[in-house]
Every structure is written in structure tokens, then in C-alpha cells.
Amino acid sequence: MNDDLESFGFTEEEAQAFAIAQIIERKLAELSIVLDKKHFAELFDRLKIYVHENKSELIIPASILNLAESSGHQGEITLDLGGMDEERIKAAYYKSTEELVAYLQEDQSKQLYKSYSEFKSRVSSRRQRDKAFLRDHQKLWGKTLELLENYFLICFELGSEFTNEVAQKLKNNDFLLDALMRSHARACQIAFEILTLLKGGFADGAHARWRTLHEISVTINFLSAHGNDLAERYFLYENIRSYFDAKRHREVYKGKGEAPPSDEEFQIIEKRKLELEKRFGKEYSNPNGWAKSVLDDPSFKAIEQSVNMQHLRPYYNLANINIHAGSKGLFFRLGRYPDQNALLAGPSSHGLIDPAGGAALSLGQVTTILLTSRPSIKRLASLNALQQLLHDLNKHLESLLNENTR
């Protein structure tokens, strides 16, 4: 039997019947009797019985005979099939594999599309399962998630209060303070994304978002350590990214989707890039070139080390597993229970400790850098209280870890 047909789950009898049906269809077409899809399907069904029962005489479906009469043919129709020996039939169906696959899948596709489109029952069933999971998930993690949410809210409130007090006094050239406030707002948004993922039982997704939160923390630590001039370079580097993004878009655009910048628009973007290179040097356009004035190696790893945050590198590498499509991500999942070998394709109540603790630490770091950029008694006192909250949260997470049940 044809291995291709076997891989699709078709029988040899189906393949033979299809090949014969194609031969008959072509012979009828030579007599100006053209079969539509419905007539061909009837012929194919009849031939499957003919082949299966090894009949010596094929009875053409009445609908095809009626079609022949309407095409001007009266009485018997004789078709010269050129000999229907087994070898000839096999040769024919070996050649028609792709056509058979296309033919059989078309009808199934219509039926499946109709079934798939009827989503109410499927979605309702999933929602019921989600409700049951979330109920149990809340029992296990309710207190932890509330402690974490409270911590995030405090960080958000401190940042909002700081921004409301300072933003009005922000000078146009105060790039560092602007970067700190924008970064804190972004960090809060990511923290709440992480919280949502943890509430839903998606520890791996939460850990992936923590990676970005860690990058923000490292970056503003670095900017804060080196002042306003470096912060300006960091801000302006957005133009370099825009240049390379636009250039790539123009190179790969195939006429579908959003059109890339026009020649005139690209010239403006390119001019801005050249102006920045003239001001800061050619190396400014290299990856992380904004940091080149401080570090010979401006890689993120080097930036991380320069602000003494390299101790988080193992966790950062672990989070990378949930970002990229490397093979380790096929086997290592935070949400999978250690004693199971299941393929995790949905929520889980396992593995929340690492992303929860990492998110709290990083958001606390970002909040601390923001408030200490313009210190006051109240802000310093707030940070001391925030640090105590983080200590309490970490003790709670450690107690869960020691239980070895989650």
C-alpha cells in the first residue's frame, strides 16, 4: 500500500475507487458529460462498494445517467477505460495521492469548520473547568496573591504620588528623572501583568514577564549611577532602533500588512540616525550603543554586572527558557509538578514562588531608585516600610517552599 495514503489513514480500496472515479470522470468529459462535485461524490461512493465487494459489473448512479440524458445522450453509454486490471489501477492511484487527500479533506474541512464555529458549548465547558480550577487555585494561593497584590499596589501608589509631586517641576533636559518615572510606570504595569498570570495559574508566563521587569531594574540602576548625560543617550537611542526597524521593514515588505516608511519618511529617520552618530560616534548605533560611553562592552550582561546585580543572572537565564523556543523549554516548566511527565498546555497551581518573589524584588528596586532620586523624610520612611513588607512576603514564600507541597 502507498505509505502516503497510510499516513493519512486512507485504505487501499478508497485509493483504487478514487483512481477509477477519476478515469471515468475524464472519459465522461470526453463525451461532454461533466460531473460536478455532487455527482463525482456519488460515483466515488458507488466505486468504493464496487472495489470492496469485488464486483464484476459497475452500476452507474442514476443521477449520472440523468445527467447524460440532459447532455444529449440517449440509451447506453459505452466507456473504453483501457482495461481495468489491478496493476493499472495501482499505477493510477499512486499518482493521485495528493488529489485524493485534497478531495477527502475538503468535505471534512467544511464539517469541521461548522463544528468549530459552534463555540458556545466548547467555550462554556472551558469556562466551567476554569472556574473549578480557579476556586482550588485560590484556596492554595489566595493569601500569597493578596500579599503580592498589596505590595504591588503600595509600589504603584508611591510612584504615583512621587510623579504627581515632581512632574510639574520636571525640566525639559532632566532626562534621568523622566526615564525613572516612565520606567517605574512601565514596571508597575508589568507587575500587574505578572499578578494576573499568577492568579490564572500561569507561572511560566509570569516568569517570562519578570525577565523584562529585571531588565528595567538593571537599566535604571545603571542610568541612576551615571547621571543625566547617559540618560539622554538612552532616551535618544530610540531613534536608532526606529531606523533599524524601518530599514528591516522596507527590506522584507511583501505588499501585505502595514506599509513601511516611504522614501521621504525613511530619509528623515536616517538623517536623525546620522546626526546622532556624528554627535556620539559611529558605535552609538551598535546594540546598546547608548552605554558605550561608560562600558567598553555595553551588553546587558555587562551592564548587570556593573551595578552588582549579576547574582540574579541564573534566574534571568531561567526566565529566558520561557521567552525563547529552545529545547529546554520543552522539558522544564515551572508549572509542571516534578513527579509528572505531562505536557503542560494550560494553567497549573505549581511554580508560583519564583516569579512572585522575583517580581516583588524587582519592582521594589525600581521603586527605591525612583524615590531616592528626590529623597525626603516621608519617601525614605515609605521605603523602610516597603522593605518590611518585602521581608514579610519573602518569609511567607519561604514557608511555602519549606512545606514542599507547592
State the CB neighbour count (10 A cutoff) for residue 217.
25
Q: 374 in a domain, yes or no?
A: yes
Closest Cα to residue 320, out of 339, 301, 338, 302? 301
Same domain, 72 and 150: no
User: What residue type is 274 in one-letter code?
Assistant: L
Q: 124 in a domain, yes or no?
A: no
Q: 135 in a domain, yes or no?
A: no
For residue 154, what pLDDT is reported? 98
Statement: the pTM of the whole predicted model exceeds 0.85? no
Burial annotation 207-216 (CB, 10 A radius, 16+ → b, else e): bbbbbbbbbb
In sign, the C-alpha dihedral spanning 241, 244, 247, 248 is negative
For residue 85, what pLDDT is reported? 57
Q: 125 in a domain, yes or no?
A: no
Same domain, 111 and 164: no
The tens digit of pLDDT for each residue in 372-391 reads 999 999 999 999 999 999 99
The grid cell for 298 is: 555595553
Closest Cα to residue 291, out of 368, 229, 241? 229
Same domain, 308 and 181: yes
User: Which regions of the chain are under pLDDT 70?
Assistant: 1-10, 56-57, 74-98, 101, 104, 338-340, 404-406
The tens digit of pLDDT for each residue in 110-120 reads 888 888 888 88
Same domain, 45 and 173: no
For residue 38, what pLDDT is reported? 84
Same domain, 194 and 263: yes
Domain boundary among 68, 102, 117: 117
The total number of structural domains that make up the chain: 2
The grid cell for 223 is: 542610568
The grid cell for 11 is: 485504505
What's the distance, CA 398 to chain centroid? 32
What's the domain range around 13?
3-117
The tens digit of pLDDT for each residue in 183-197 reads 999 999 999 999 999
Residue with cell 516583588: 360
Q: For residues 252 and 263, what is the distance between their CA atoms, to the nearest angstrom?
A: 15
